[in-house]
Amino acid sequence: MGIASVPTRSPQDVGGWVELWRQAEIPVLQETVEQIEELRTREEEVDAHLLAPVISADPLMCLKLLAHVSNHRSSRRITDTETATAALVMTGIGPFFRAFGRQPSVQDRLAGQPRALEGMLGLLARAQRGARFALGFAVHRMDPDAEVIHQAALLHDFAEMLLWCHAPVLALEIERRQRADSALRSAVVQRQVLGVELADVRQTLMRTWRLPELLVRISDDKHDREAQVRNVVLAIRLARHTQRGWDNPAVPDDVRDISLLLNLRPDATTKLLHDIDS
């Protein structure tokens, strides 16, 4: 993933956005940069279980690693590396540090655009929180793919993250329109401003980067009748609705739907949600 040139005008279809971003530079959180650099200084004592939590806490670093491994895997290998830990084991610690030098940071990229930086950091925090909800739901359901579900939720909004990084003016316009009309659905305003829905860009990029099939499937909102997909969708939805507090009028509907997923009473579900969020 190199540095994409800035287009003279925005793409207006999924193929255009995918072409723009498939080789784009992907910055990561400054905290991730610092943690990786600290671990690099003591490479000999680092293993996958020490490095994986650093990567798994950052959606964009996790995305970069999975895309790197998927694009360098042998055609003879049948199984996918579906998690950051598996990807690190497959890559090896030394090769990881050689493949990933000092990373560019989100904070540096958006340093001159404080409103965009605020929006981007808010989205990253929401992704981390949504992933915690998704993992909590998956553990309660005793899903054997709980770690993959956690990762799917973490990566769910990566296309929107790329928009904040590479087209912050458009991201801010989407945010402005939704603040002006709270009933305006994300898919609708994205089509208005970008000409596409970011969910379609996300799924196409995941396939372009040859990300693990299970991860791609669980990330596809259009299949939300499947329990694993619904697990991710409801976790992300709850994280979005409660980003500024639990008094959002949509929360009771979220609790009802999560109760059905988890086969719990609404009061037990509410307690579980607050326990996960504490």
- Residues 219, 164 share a domain: yes
What secondary structure does DSSP assign to 234-254, as a single string? HHHHHHHHTTT-TT-TTHHHH
- Residues 99, 236 share a domain: no
Q: Which residue is associated with the tokens 């719990």? A: 264
- Residues 43, 83 share a domain: yes
- Residues 161, 251 share a domain: yes
- Residues 268, 135 share a domain: yes
- Residues 88, 224 share a domain: no
Cα 52 from chain centroid?
16
For the entire predicted model, the pTM comes to 0.89
pLDDT of residue 275 exceeding 90:
yes
Domain final position from 61, 86, 106: 106
Q: How far apart are CA 145 and CA 169, in angstroms?
A: 37
Q: Per-residue pLDDT tens for 79-103?
A: 456 788 888 988 999 999 999 999 9
Q: Which residue is associated with the tokens 């808010």? A: 122
Domain final position from 73, 106, 139: 106
Give the chain's domain count.
2
Average pLDDT over residues 133-137: 97
Q: Which two tokens stand for residue 135?
A: 């993992």
pLDDT of residue 72 exceeding 80:
no
Q: Which amino acid would we find at residue 11?
A: P
Q: Is 13 inside a domain boundary?
A: no
Q: How far apart are CA 171 and CA 193, in angstroms?
A: 9
Instruction: With H, G, I as helix, E, B as strand and everything else as coil, classify residue 58.
Output: coil
pLDDT of the residue at 156 = 95
Q: What is the dihedral of CA 67, 72, 76, 79, to 10 degrees?
A: -30
pLDDT of the residue at 76 = 44
Q: How far apart are CA 18 and CA 235, in angstroms?
A: 26
Q: What is the mean pLDDT of the chain?
A: 91
